[in-house]
């Protein structure tokens, strides 16, 4: 993932619009109910929350932290999805039926991840360092699942609905239950 802070202003704008386009493509590819780009842009609160985050994150990395948090709060009020502007999110995130999704400040989300409603990527401590999960590429997190702490979910893994995951998950795994148990690798 490129760091927005290392790009020129023109490169940042191009990067944001390229990422916005990839976010729309992710919905078209992964949601069979999505009919066209206009419908997605107008009617998908997960996309609205993600775009609000992307703008807030661009401000966050330029040290406009209060403005970034304000945009984040307005976006949360409008969509019911809370994404901290300090989180790092790759292109192609799809938040499906996103009400109640929470993404904490030190979360890292790789490309092409899918989060369903009620997912929490949360911390388990109040220290200032890394305290939220890292999700690899092509991860799917089911409805109501909680992924907690500075853990890593490996590429191509699936987290079942309502699972509570507090330990690292290797790539290509399926995790279900409370506490989360790997049922397939």
Q: Which H or E run contains 95?
A: strand 94-96
**What does the DSSP assignment read for 15-66?**
HHHHHHHHHHHHHHHH-TT---HHHHHHH-HHHHHHHHHHHHHHHHHTT-HH
Give the residue ranges of the chain where pLDDT is below 70. 1-7
pLDDT of residue 5: 58
Distance CA 143, CA 146 (A): 9
Helix axes 9-30, 45-61, angle to 10 degrees: 160
Q: Residue 1: what pLDDT?
A: 45
What's the domain range around 114? 4-184
Total domains, the chain: 1
Q: Distance (Å, rounded) from C-alpha 177 to C-alpha 185?
A: 16
pLDDT for residue 9:
74
pLDDT in tens, 8-25: 778 877 877 888 889 999
Q: What is the pLDDT of residue 11?
A: 80
Which candidate in 21, 97, 117, 127 is catalytic?
127
Q: Residue 45's pLDDT is what?
A: 96
CATH number for the domain spanning 19: value is: 2.160.10.10
Q: What is the pLDDT of residues 109-130, one digit of tens each?
A: 999 999 999 999 999 988 889 9
Residue 127 bears catalytic tag: yes
């Amino acid at each position: 993932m490129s760091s927005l802070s290392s790009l020129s202003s023109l490169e940042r704008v191009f990067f944001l619009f390229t990422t916005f386009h990839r976010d729309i493509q992710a919905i078209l590819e992964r949601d069979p109910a999505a009919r066209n780009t206009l419908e997605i842009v107008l009617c998908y609160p997960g996309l609205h929350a993600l775009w609000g985050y992307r703008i807030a994150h661009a401000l966050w990395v330029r040290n406009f932290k209060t403005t970034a948090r304000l945009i984040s709060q307005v976006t949360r009020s409008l969509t019911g999805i809370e994404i901290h502007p300090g989180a790092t999110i790759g292109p192609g995130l799809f938040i499906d039926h996103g009400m109640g999704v929470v993404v904490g400040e030190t979360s890292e989300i790789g490309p092409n991840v899918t989060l369903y409603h009620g997912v929490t990527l949360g911390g388990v401590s109040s220290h200032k360092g890394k305290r939220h999960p890292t999700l690899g590429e092509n991860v799917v997190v089911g409805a109501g699942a909680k992924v907690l702490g500075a853990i890593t979910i490996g590429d191509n893994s699936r987290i079942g609905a309502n699972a509570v995951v507090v330990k690292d998950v290797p790539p290509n795994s399926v995790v279900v239950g409370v506490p989360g148990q790997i049922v397939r690798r």
